[in-house]
Structure 1
Amino acid sequence: MAASDAVVGAGVPGNVAVMADSGESGTGFTAETAAGVLAVACADAGLSAVGASMMRLGENAVFRLADPVVVRIGRSADRLDEAQRTVGVARWLTETDYPAVRLVPGVRQPAVVDGRVVTFWRLVAAEERYADVVQFAELMRRLHWLEEPPSLGLPYVDPLGPTLRRLGELGHLAEDDREFLRQRAESLGKRYDGLEFVLPFGMIHGDANVGNALLDESGRAVLIDLDGFELGPREWDLTLTAMYYERYGWHTRTEYESFVRAYGFDVMNWYGYPVLADIRELSMVVWLAQNADHDARAETELQRRISDLRTGGDRHGWQPF
């Protein structure tokens, strides 16, 4: 699943020069390598990458074309199965008339270009505006009422699997930091296994936060970032909003209380919330580490976060990415 902590979709804006050759898939996942993949993928799809701008760089590189199209480029072809599920989820949500981002019609996808997985999406609105917490809560409540068809082949949630996988790929991370994070993950895995959940088990978004809900041209909230759909406890989808308020101060108390009223359940009143919050927090730290080797701001934030995990320091100074 994606593990960003973007409250408002913060990223790396600005025009990106499109390269003629995307290079080898073994190179680092940077704005430049992603732009090369973009050029090839758009040409194959009959679209133009001229004038494209990067919206954000995280688990995916996200570009906006001059046409009303958004292109998402994944880090590795290892995510092809995940991308195929994402496309299936998007098509099913369209059939059920659920308010979610739509695929670009008439384009065969997902595509694989130089070892990266590429998908093409309709632009939600000309101006990127984010839903408020009440609109987001209503999206989550409606999503959690849906019963997915078995044909989607959704996996069961693996709360620490992506974190452990990323730790194994982070060659630039100091070994003592890697071992500390790995041991923390193992400890949290044991605590998670002992939890008893109170909400029904079923389909979840996987990376549910207000940064993944945009407003369309009519002002309707639309769910985006469908990569992490899976089967799991609904508490998992409520934890980020809670910890963005409780741990980081990214939501106000009034906003969080409004979210709780709109959804109808306060995950912070459940005894297992601190465990889920610790797992989510660890995931956020390791997710950030994959960009720290080529982003000085990310490296500074990463070192602060690891230090705070070691010492139990106050998280209210953490910056969203």
Structure 2
Amino acid sequence: MTKARALTEETAHRTLVAVCERVGLDPAGAELIRIGSNAVYRLAKPVIVRIGRDGETVENARRQVAVARWLASENYPATRALDVDQPVELDGHVSTLWESASEREEYAPLAQVAELIRRLHELEAPASLALPRIQPFAKLDEYLPDLERVDGADAAFMRERIEQLRSRYEALDFALKPGVIHGDANVGNVILDREGHPLLIDLDSFCTGPREWDLVQTALFFERFAWHTEEEYRQFVEVYGFDVMTWPGYPVLAEYREISMTLWLCGKAVADEGAAAEVRKRIEAIRTGGSRRDWAPF
């Protein structure tokens, strides 16, 4: 893979134009929806183009496309990969193309999120997909260099906390049968299509592992952040059929998610003082057991 140019709005748009030329699409009038882990564009034609940062690999992108096509064969409501030769690698960035399900970014109610997770967990992936097993701490290890961007004492605390968490995770006894998981299941990854039907998106983290991983973020968002109401969470539990908060290992997965969210934000801390202040606030809350209800979404 060639060395990638930094993913700025300028370089992302340049890559978009080249990708569209490669697959025979028109980039005129493309709208930049967001630029973060990916640069995401919506074309005038109902197509979404996702341009990965330099951490994205062709293998990972190819797996996302394969997963999408498998889910389509199962008539499972998920984002559909565009029928072109993809992924596309240009200038060190790997791009994928998807059917645009809606012109609005509207999220599904939690009951529908639970329904899609439950249905996903009923599926058995073919061996040909070669889904990897979840390796949560490999992901945290990738983020560790970003701790160089924060206060030394905070960085030392977080490194020690991660090692403690690693030991606690290895001792967990999971309650649910392992299998296919989305890996990043939460309300932000279930949108409503043009007809108002829920659709699972962002297949980047698809893998196999304990099903509890697909339930913990909804519980965390309710219990610690108050981003969901109690009624919404109870509906989620009723539809899925299991309350992960009643499982003794819940605090371990919840803390993992908090730390992962915080380390990811460290990567933005150098260029964004707001992000840096948020990182300091989050680390202090983790250190002291303070409230998470003032954590700002990024």
The TM-score with structure 1 as length reference comes to 0.87
Distance (Å, rounded) in 2 between the aligned partners of 1:46 and 1:293? 38
2:107 aligned partner: 130
Q: Using the alignment, how far apart are the partners of 1:51 and 1:143 within structure 2?
A: 35
Other-structure match for 2:38:
60
Q: Describe how 1:26-41 pairs up with structure 2 within 5 A.
A: 26-41=4-19
Shift of 1:169: 5.4
Q: What residue is the counterpart of 2:279 in the other structure? A: 302
Q: Which residue of 2 aligns with 1:73?
A: 51
Counterpart for residue 179 of structure 2? 202
1:117 aligned to 2:94?
yes
1:88-127 correspondence runs (5 A) = 88-105=66-83, 107-127=84-104
Contact 2:4 2:93 survives alignment (8 Å): no
Query: Residues 167 and 286 of structure 1 are in contact (CA less than 8 Å); yes or no, is this contact kept in structure 2?
Result: yes
Task: Give 1:77 deviation, angstroms.
Answer: 5.6
Q: Are the structure 2 counterparts of residues 295 and 39 from structure 1 closer, same or farther at C-alpha, using a change threshold of 3 Å?
A: farther
* Aligned counterparts of 2:16 and 2:276: Cα–Cα separation in 1: 26
Q: Distance in 1 between matches of 2:129 and 2:146?
A: 29
Could you tell me which of 43, 47, 54 is aligned with 2:21? 43
Number of aligned residue pairs: give it: 297
Conservation of the 8 A alpha-carbon contact between 2:88 and 2:96: yes
Q: Does 1:150 pair with 2:145?
A: no
1:44-71 CA distance string (max 9 Å, x none): 2222222222222232221111211111
Bigger relative contact order (CA 8 A; separation at least 6):
1
- The letter of the residue matching 2:200 is L
Of 252, 257, 260, the match for 2:234: 257
Partner of 1:188: 165
Identity of aligned residues (%): 49
Q: Distance in 1 between matches of 2:252 and 2:18?
A: 43
Distance 1:170 1:254, change over 3 A: same
User: What does residue 139 of structure 2 align with?
Assistant: 162
- Paired residues of 1:285 and 1:305 also in contact (CA < 8 A): yes
Task: Give 2:200's aligned residue.
Answer: 223
Quote the offset at 1:175 in angstroms: 4.3
Residue 173 (structure 1) shift = 4.1
Q: Compute the RMSD of aligned alpha carbons.
A: 1.8
1:47/1:169 Cα in 2 relative to 1: closer, same or farther (>3 Å)? farther
Superposed displacement of residue 174, structure 1: 4.4
Aligned to 2:65, which of 87, 92, 108?
A: 87
Are residue 266 (structure 1) and residue 264 (structure 2) matched?
A: no
Change (3 A) 1:181 1:37: farther
Shift of 1:171: 5.4
2:255 matched to which residue of 1? Answer: 278
- AA aligned to 2:91 is D
* Contact 2:5-2:91 at 8 Å conserved across structures: no
CA 229–248 in structure 1, closer or farther in 2 if over 3 Å, else same: same
- Are 1:164 and 1:182, in contact at CA under 8 Å, matched by a contact in 2? no
8 Å CA contact retained: 1:77, 1:112: no
Distance 1:50 1:181, change over 3 A: farther
Gaps of 5+ in 1: 1-23
Counterpart CA distance in 2 for 1:270 and 1:141 is: 17
